[in-house]
Structure 1
Amino acid sequence: MLQPWFRLPLLLMVTLLTGCATSSLFNPYPWQAEQWKSALASDQPDAAITRLNRRTRGADKLLYLQERGRAAQIAGDLTRSIEDFRDVIRLYDNQDEQARIRASGAGSGIAALMVNDNAIPYRGQDYERIMVHGLQALNYWQTGDFDAAAVEFRRVTLEQQVAEQRREREIGDALADGEPVAAVSDFGSELAGLNSAAASVRSSIQNAYFYYLAGVFREATGDYNNALVDYKRAWEVNPDISLLPADIARVEARMNRRHVSDQGLVVIAYEQGFVPPREEVSLPIPTIHGYFAIAFPTYGGDLVGPVPLRIQQGDTELGRSEVATAVSGMAARALREAVPGMLARQTLRAAAKYEAQKRANDDLGLFGAFATQVYNLVSESADLRSWLTLPAYAQVARLELPPGPQALRLSGSGGSATVEIPVTRGGITLVRVIDTGSRLHITVMPTLEEQQ
């Protein structure tokens, strides 16, 4: 009869072997995501939605709903996208209501200690949660529900503030618990790509792209006070956005009724490519039993850089977009900030696995040794889950053009297209461009009316 201490590893091993299709252990998440990313890149967004439909009911439904909401948005199925993002927001809100991990989640935590982080249902990243609200705001804007869009833009700001406070508490708790923060420096070569990518942004939470679009939304509706606040927040997060000084000065002039222009503004929001997937690397973890090699998530050092959107009218180039938010950098920084806690869990896990194998060798002979070796092999895989249909870079451009319909030629990494844009005197027109690598998905957003 098997000893009680050995039943858990065997039970977990059987569970892994029978449930691997959804556990991301034998089918790493980036491999799964290639199916719908390829469909989006090959201009078959409906196929991407179909591939995601059957995956939105499991333990990782939050992740798959985020993916499907984004895919549906690209496909132009705004009803589907709005509903998916509503469900995602409810899931995040439910997490907030939990003072502690649910009883069912506690079981997952035990499994994760013996297996790996893939055993924990996906709970999302702070930057992903903020992106959900920003993308939902654009959904509502496109459908003409401006009140709902205003609510979501407010939640973008609120979620960033709450996430910053939560991050400060987590860092404090990690230090208080003695998590091995200093140990991160021991893996300079293995985590060089991650460190480089994380250093490309100042924060994994603050999103200048949605601050900027919130400013555009509020300026267009005459809410100049809040528009000014949003533009200044965007500039504080990313002072390299060259448009912002003129935007701030223009809104200040509008507030004082000194802004007079015969032109209209065209703002272009350009979402380029897809965020890169996480990669797996082997790290030597020190334990009381010696060094153990463990699988760990990271990002490579060869991340694709931003490609600006070129804007032309006839043979004249009017401008190029510039990066407001490097979402790929935010993803890397979020992972880098999680490394200390992950190392602490991996150290405990490695020690527990060593003890299990030692006892199996002593008590169960060859069968025990073989079973625990298979179990350790199956369970040792890095958690590579993250929202992979988000854009790698969110960029912005602004033009001043004469009133009337204006034909612009837009050229990005995914091709070129000509779009006719209605320009109103003193007004603002937002043009959204999503570049999936083979085509530019272009939407001229409904015109907002200034509130007097």
Structure 2
Amino acid sequence: MVNLRTHILRVFSFIGLMLFLSACSTYNQSVAPYYKNVSAGNYPQAEKELDKNSLIQTPRNKLLYLMEKGRICHLKGEYENSNNYFNQADQLLDQGLTSASDAAVGVLLNSASQKYKGEDFEKFMIHYYKALNYLYLNKTEDAIVEARRITLQAQEQGDKYNNKDSRYSNDAFALTLQGMLYESNNDVNNAFISYRNAAEIYLKSPDKTYYGTTMPVELEEDVIRTAKLNGFTTEADQFETTFGIKYEPVKPSDGGELIFFWENGLAPVKTQVDLFFSLIRNSNGDLFFTDAAGGIVVPFNYDGDRNRVNTKSVESLRVAFPKYVAQTPYYSSASISVNNQDAQLVKAEDINELAFKTLQQRALKEMSGILSRLAVKKIAEYSLRAAAKSDGKTNGLLEGLGYGIQLYSLLSEKADTRNWQSLPAYISYTRVPLQKGDNQVRITLKNAQGATETKTIKVQGTGRLQFYNYATLR
């Protein structure tokens, strides 16, 4: 029996060692060469690193790979290829990435071993890049389809969280973009509806902020302007009062207008933190997990007989939980001038804030699932070890299995540190008039030390609404 127990321990030790080695590095560390080249602006080399990385090539990471592939192709100016990958990502999301087998993997191993299903704000960002790609390919109708998909995404989010105001159930920036897309197609009615819906999200907050962004003045003016264009005089007056501004219509420029997006920095990375919990029973007999300080209390989701659970069998659980770490952008601010006329950039999307807050919103639910999974393993381990000595003799097989489960549970615990990390940390924008023909757009970038750099791009004024996104990802 001793030899059998030793053999079992060796098998579990080998499995545990493999799990431990795979758990030593986070997702960011495993895909670091790709992200370093993205940050350096070396996009061809970044794509090579992405394509040869074995971790992101696994089936469970397919959605991540497709989003990153779409992103790097967009950065390279390969808009058709970019949308090929984003469309595949959309198809995966439409098909659904949840299954019984995938759920079982999460119970037996950890959430990092399950299929990556995407953060909610990442799904909105797919529409942002797809729409831009279509516009750059002169496929306005396809861009409008993407605008409509933003509404469907918002409805799906609302259904998911029962339209609770405290949860991220919509995206103000995505709705603002939707209005811009409709307007580029001369659909000022739907443009007004989109702008109004975006504004109403901000107005739900007393200080008109939404996940780290204050309502842009550009949006306030767009709501009033499109209301007037539709002849909605009452609505325009009401919004002027609400926003505290008096909008004065401006004569359209002969060259049309440019909506300029500045994408700055890189999205936060996920790392792993270890938390320790005990299982307790309250006076009503209910089971809860609590940390050492007693500041966190999480219900135990258990399908078995709760009265037979020995809380001493779950005296200490180590929980590996994801934590976002922000990456400080190299550039702290930017401004642009078009034909020597200055324009102010305003922040419209704070992906850092979205990442931190949405993780916080679901933390209790995710922690409950992780703790329940670990507790079930611990109870099984305790039961086996108790059964091994139940008749006064030691059963080497049961004892070995008990210790094996203990080792396996300890070493298989790993946080899910995956996310779409080539997204920008922030997106700012402005809307500027263009003259007919050549226009010179100067972007002045400033870093934390006050040093400035200037980039120049040329835009042809065509009389229509145009878009341009500029990325500084270091």
Letter of the structure 2 residue corresponding to residue 296 of structure 1: F
Q: CA deviation at 1:25?
A: 2.9
| Residue 30 of structure 1: aligned partner | 28
- Residue in structure 2 matching 1:222, options 177, 186, 189: 186
TM-score by length of 2: 0.73
| Residue 385 of structure 1: aligned partner | 418
Q: Is residue 83 of structure 1 aligned with residue 89 of structure 2?
A: no
CA, structure 1 residues 10+356, in 2 after alignment: closer, same or farther (shift >3 Å)?
farther
Residues 72-119 of structure 1 show CA distances to partners (whole Å, capped at 9, x for unaligned) of 1112222321111111111111118xxxx53xxx23323322322112
CA, structure 1 residues 313+304, in 2 after alignment: closer, same or farther (shift >3 Å)?
closer
| Residue 392 of structure 2: aligned partner | none
Alignment identity in percent?
23
Letter of the structure 2 residue corresponding to residue 434 of structure 1: A
CA, structure 1 residues 250+11, in 2 after alignment: closer, same or farther (shift >3 Å)?
farther
Q: CA deviation at 1:29?
A: 0.8
Residues 149-171 of structure 1 show CA distances to partners (whole Å, capped at 9, x for unaligned) of 110111012101211111229x9
Partner secondary structure for residue 60 of structure 2 = coil
Q: Is residue 336 of structure 1 aligned with residue 360 of structure 2?
A: yes
Alignment of 1:120-269 (within 5 A): 120-168=114-162, 204-238=168-202, 239=208, 240-256=215-231, 260-262=251-253, 264-269=256-261
Q: CA deviation at 1:10?
A: 9.3
| Residue 467 of structure 2: aligned partner | 430
Contact 2:320 2:413 in 1 (8 A): yes
Partner secondary structure for residue 274 of structure 1 = coil
Contact 2:374 2:409 in 1 (8 A): no
Q: CA deviation at 1:266?
A: 2.2
CA, structure 1 residues 20+418, in 2 after alignment: closer, same or farther (shift >3 Å)?
farther
| Residue 59 of structure 2: aligned partner | 58
Contact 1:113 1:348 in 2 (8 A): no
CA, structure 1 residues 56+12, in 2 after alignment: closer, same or farther (shift >3 Å)?
farther
| Residue 303 of structure 2: aligned partner | none
CA, structure 1 residues 60+372, in 2 after alignment: closer, same or farther (shift >3 Å)?
same
Q: Is residue 298 of structure 1 aligned with residue 299 of structure 2?
A: no
How many residues align? The count is 392
Of 160-169 and 137-146, more deviation after overlay is shown by 160-169
Provide the rounded CA distance (Å) in 1 between the counterparts of 2:19 and 2:133: 36
Q: CA deviation at 1:211?
A: 2.0
TM-score by length of 1: 0.76
Greater C-alpha Rg: 2
Q: Is residue 275 of structure 1 aligned with residue 264 of structure 2?
A: no
Unpaired segments ≥5 residues, structure 2: 203-207, 209-214, 233-248, 280-310, 389-394, 448-452
Contact 1:66 1:84 in 2 (8 A): yes
Q: Is residue 411 of structure 1 aligned with residue 444 of structure 2?
A: yes
CA, structure 1 residues 303+333, in 2 after alignment: closer, same or farther (shift >3 Å)?
farther
The root-mean-square deviation of aligned C-alpha atoms, in Å, is: 3.4
Q: Is residue 421 of structure 1 aligned with residue 459 of structure 2?
A: yes
Alignment of 1:342-361 (within 5 A): 342-358=366-382, 359=384
Unpaired segments ≥5 residues, structure 1: 172-200, 438-452
Letter of the structure 2 residue corresponding to residue 311 of structure 1: I
Q: CA deviation at 1:206?
A: 2.3
CA, structure 1 residues 78+261, in 2 after alignment: closer, same or farther (shift >3 Å)?
closer
| Residue 187 of structure 1: aligned partner | none
CA, structure 1 residues 389+113, in 2 after alignment: closer, same or farther (shift >3 Å)?
same
Provide the rounded CA distance (Å) in 2 between the counterparts of 1:8 and 1:129: 45
Q: CA deviation at 1:342?
A: 1.3
Provide the rounded CA distance (Å) in 2 between the counterparts of 1:235 and 1:274: 26
